[in-house]
Amino acid sequence: MIRVVLPAHLRTLARVGGEVTLKVEGPVTQRSVLDALEAQYPMLRGTIRDHGTLKRRAFVRFFACEQDLSHESPDAPLPDAVASGVEPFLIVGAMAGG
């Protein structure tokens, strides 16, 4: 199972308390994880990726294993530790905007 940590406002919107766990079929990438997340929590559609372009929203960042993966290809494999569930995939609101 993939572990995902959401920012507080999206946890509220999705009505979840802590980490979210997702079952992802096939390669574990940003795209497949976000597809699975949005399928399980459709109220999150459009809040992390733009509805039309599916690009990451400007003030959202992706971290894992102490790395910033925000600018990686959405189809690049995520670290093995994320794919194996050892480490969570962090979705973070950037320290900007608002």
Partner 1 sequence: MSKVRLLVGTRKGAFVLTSDGKRKQWDVNGPFFGGWEMYHLKGSPADPNRLYASQTSSWFGQVIQRSDDGGKTWNPPGTRPEDLMGGDGMPKGESNMFLYDASAETGKPLTTHQWYDGSQRPWEFKRVWHLEPSLTDPDTVYAGAEDAALFKSVDGGKTWKELAGLRSAKGQLWQPGAGGMCLHTIVLDKGRPDRMFVAISAAGTFRSDDAGKTWRPTNKGLVSKYELPDPDAEVGHCVHCIAMHPSRPNVLFMQKHWDVLRSDDAGESWREISGNLPSDFGFPIAVHAHEPNTVYVVPIKSDSEHYPPDGKLRVYRSRTGGDEWEPLTKGLPQQDCYVNILRDAMTVDSLEPCGIYFGTTAGQVYGSANGGDSWAPIVQNFPAVLSVEVQVLR
Give contact residues for partner 1 (rule: CB under 8 A): 7-10, 13, 38-40, 42-48, 50-52, 57, 59-60, 93-94, 97-98
Q: Give the shortest CB-91-to-partner 1 separation in angstroms.
A: 10
Q: How far is C-alpha 82 from the chain's CA centre?
A: 11
Instruction: Say how far apart CA 96 and CA 73 lie, in whole Å.
Output: 23
The smaller minimum CB distance to partner 1, of residues 83 and 92, is found at 92
The smaller minimum CB distance to partner 1, of residues 82 and 91, is found at 91
Non-local (6+) Cβ contacts of 27 within 8 A are 75, 77
Q: Give the shortest CB-21-to-partner 1 separation in angstroms.
A: 17
Instruction: Say how far apart CA 89 and CA 79 lie, in whole Å.
Output: 9
